[in-house]
């Protein structure tokens, strides 16, 4: 088989997504600007524009591998044209010299397509894609998911998806393959597709903690918080000691401002893991949002008893005292932050703000200047410096 036939055969057999990407590369290298693209029955229809002879021309382009009669393909394409558009038919089939000609439809047959692939240095890419397609045929069923995982780990999502699809087609651990596809689509931000795959997995294993938990993650990422909580609840019903899911549920409830429920969730976690400084801190935040400052302070102190230099808890402790109107105590906590991390602009700003609130303007200015020195882009600190200088000047 000569090289041209081998390349065109590889194009005919390659995956639809690979074929689509290859065609777009050819069109863009020809100078087309693509405005719309869709796939219909294995063919690709493209709308685009190109500069020719000093003017902009509009095209509708059909790309096919279907061995369709050329005359019929041309007539079908002409039906899609408006008076202001021209047509381009690209096919992998060989076109005879006496093939139908139409003034409104250009035709690129297999021979010309090969020349374009050669011109734009795409032959090696086609050959590589052809080898990839052949590898799918030679894989054993048991290898599909592992191969998919390997490609997923390397960031090759399309190839990973194809191996997972092969696993599903072969019946090789379909639930896991659906789960991995859900994981893949979540990573790419395709939430509806992820949900569909995970629901397929749940039809096979409705009592899987991992599937329900991942479904909750998808809903959470898609900002469907109520559905996320329901999915997490289902996972927790199946395993009430799953700390990871409990923590996710607590965080989502906090984001939904359902503080009482979040507190109960964090308490469930603390029953299992009492030395978690992060959970004590989160519980304190919920109490603070509820205006329950004494309870909030108790939880913060529990967090700090585990780690005395836990920055987030120290910041929140200062904020609790501020909300309680005890500015002297808030100032004392801010001193701990500055002493613990003297090169952090944010903490000098916090201490300076408390000093300013207590009308200790010169001390406040020292910390605000230090905040700007550490972070010249700290606009809030810059504004405070100007305000404090005016205060001091009287």
In the chain the beta strands, taken as DSSP E runs, fall at 33-40, 43-52, 55-64, 85-91, 105-108
Q: Is the pLDDT of residue 79 over 80?
A: yes
Classify the phi-psi angles of 171: left when phi > 0, otherwise alpha if psi is within -120 to 50, otherwise beta. left
What is the structure's pLDDT at 138? 47
Give CA separation, 392 vs 327, 328, 356, 385, in Å. Answer: 21, 21, 11, 11
What is the structure's pLDDT at 347? 92
Q: Is the pLDDT of residue 343 over 80?
A: yes
Report the pLDDT averaged over residues 86-99.
74
Please, what is the average pLDDT of the chain? 88
Every domain of the chain and the residues it spans: 3-130, 139-206
Bigger pLDDT: 361 or 72? 361
What is the structure's pLDDT at 105? 87
Report the pLDDT averaged over residues 148-164.
90
**H or E, element range at 83:** none
Give CA separation, 384 vs 284, 350, 369, 372, 387, in Å. Answer: 29, 11, 9, 10, 5
Other residues' Cβ atoms within 10 Å of the Cβ of residue 90: 22
C-alpha–C-alpha distance, residues 69 and 282, integer Å: 68
Report the pLDDT averaged over residues 323-342.
92
**Nearest-5° Cα angle at 21, 19 to 24:** 110
Report the pLDDT averaged over residues 207-219.
95
Q: Is the pLDDT of residue 104 over 50?
A: yes
68-72, 167-171, 209-213: least confidently modelled range: 68-72
- Among candidate residues 58, 63, 81, the one with its CA nearest the CA of residue 73: 63
β-bridge pairing 55-64 and 105-108: unpaired
Report the pLDDT averaged over residues 357-370.
93
Distance of CA 65 to the CA centre of its chain: 33
Q: What is the pTM of this model?
A: 0.63
C-alpha–C-alpha distance, residues 163 and 104, integer Å: 42
What is the structure's pLDDT at 41? 61
Q: Is the pLDDT of residue 101 over 80?
A: no
246, 254 Cβ separation under 8 angstroms: no
What is the structure's pLDDT at 123? 83
What are 34's strand-pairing partners? Answer: 48
Q: Is the pLDDT of residue 131 over 90?
A: no
110-124, 146-160, 364-378, 380-394: least confidently modelled range: 110-124
Q: Is the pLDDT of residue 42 over 70?
A: no
Q: Kindly tell me the burial class for residue 62, based on how many C-beta atoms sit within 10 Å of its own C-beta (0-12, 13-18, 19 or more).
A: buried
Report the pLDDT averaged over residues 13-23.
75
250, 262 Cβ separation under 8 angstroms: yes
Q: Which two tokens stand for residue 159?
A: 């190839």
Residue 14 DSSP symbol: S
Report the pLDDT averaged over residues 330-345.
92
Q: Which two tokens stand for residue 135?
A: 């590898």
Q: In CATH terms, is domain 3-130 a member of 3.20.20.240?
A: no
212, 238 Cβ separation under 8 angstroms: yes
C-alpha–C-alpha distance, residues 339 and 141, integer Å: 61
Report the pLDDT averaged over residues 179-198.
95
Q: Is the pLDDT of residue 218 over 50?
A: yes
What is the structure's pLDDT at 139? 46
Q: Which CATH class is domain 139-206?
A: mainly alpha
- With pLDDT > 90 as the criterion, what percentage of the chain qualifies? 57
What is the structure's pLDDT at 280? 97
Q: Is the pLDDT of residue 116 over 60?
A: yes
What is the structure's pLDDT at 354? 93
What is the structure's pLDDT at 133? 55
* Burial readout 222-239 (b: 16 or more C-beta within 10 A, e: otherwise): bebbebbbebbebbbebe
What is the structure's pLDDT at 182? 96
Q: Do domains 3-130 and 139-206 have the same CATH topology?
A: no
Report the pLDDT averaged over residues 108-128.
84
What is the structure's pLDDT at 52? 86
Bigger pLDDT: 287 or 120? 287
What is the structure's pLDDT at 220? 97
Q: Is the pLDDT of residue 148 over 50?
A: yes
Which residues make Cβ contacts (< 8 Å) with residue 316, sequence separation at least 6? 281, 284, 285, 288, 296, 300
Other residues' Cβ atoms within 10 Å of the Cβ of residue 122: 18
């Amino acid at each position: 088989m000569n090289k041209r036939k081998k390349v065109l055969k590889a194009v005919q057999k390659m995956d639809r997504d690979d074929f689509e990407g290859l065609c777009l590369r050819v069109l863009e290298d020809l100078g087309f600007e693509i405005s719309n693209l869709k796939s219909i029955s294995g063919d690709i229809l493209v709308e685009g524009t190109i500069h020719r002879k000093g003017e902009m021309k509009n095209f509708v382009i059909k790309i096919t591998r279907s061995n369709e009669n050329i005359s019929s393909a041309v007539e079908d394409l002409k039906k899609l044209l408006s008076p202001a558009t021209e047509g381009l038919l690209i096919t992998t089939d060989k076109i005879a010299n006496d093939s139908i000609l139409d003034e409104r439809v250009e035709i690129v047959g297999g021979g010309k397509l090969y020349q374009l692939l050669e011109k734009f240095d795409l032959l090696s890419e086609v050959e590589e894609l052809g080898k990839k397609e052949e590898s799918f045929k030679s894989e054993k069923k048991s290898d599909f998911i592992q191969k998919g995982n390997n490609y997923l780990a390397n960031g090759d999502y399309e190839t990973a998806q194809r191996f997972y699809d092969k696993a599903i087609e072969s019946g090789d651990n379909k639930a896991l393959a659906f789960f991995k596809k859900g994981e893949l689509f979540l990573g790419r931000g395709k939430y509806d597709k992820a949900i569909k795959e995970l629901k397929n997995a749940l039809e096979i294993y409705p009592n899987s903690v991992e599937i329900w938990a991942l479904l909750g993650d998808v809903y959470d990422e898609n900002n469907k918080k109520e559905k996320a909580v329901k999915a997490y609840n289902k996972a927790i019903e199946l395993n009430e000691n799953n700390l990871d899911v409990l923590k996710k549920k607590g965080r989502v409830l906090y984001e939904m401002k359902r503080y009482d429920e979040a507190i109960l969730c964090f308490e469930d976690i603390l029953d299992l893991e009492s030395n978690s400084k992060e959970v004590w801190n989160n519980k304190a935040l919920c109490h603070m949002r509820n205006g329950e400052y004494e309870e909030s302070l108790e939880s913060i102190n529990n967090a700090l008893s585990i780690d005395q230099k836990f920055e987030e808890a120290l910041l929140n402790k200062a904020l609790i005292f501020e909300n309680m109107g005890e500015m002297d105590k808030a100032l004392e906590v801010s001193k701990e932050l500055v002493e613990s991390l003297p090169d952090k602009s944010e903490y000098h700003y916090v201490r300076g703000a408390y000093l300013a609130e207590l009308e200790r303007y010169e001390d406040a200015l020292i910390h605000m200047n230090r905040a700007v020195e550490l972070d010249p882009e700290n606009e809030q600190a810059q504004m405070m410096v100007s305000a404090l200088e005016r205060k001091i000047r009287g």
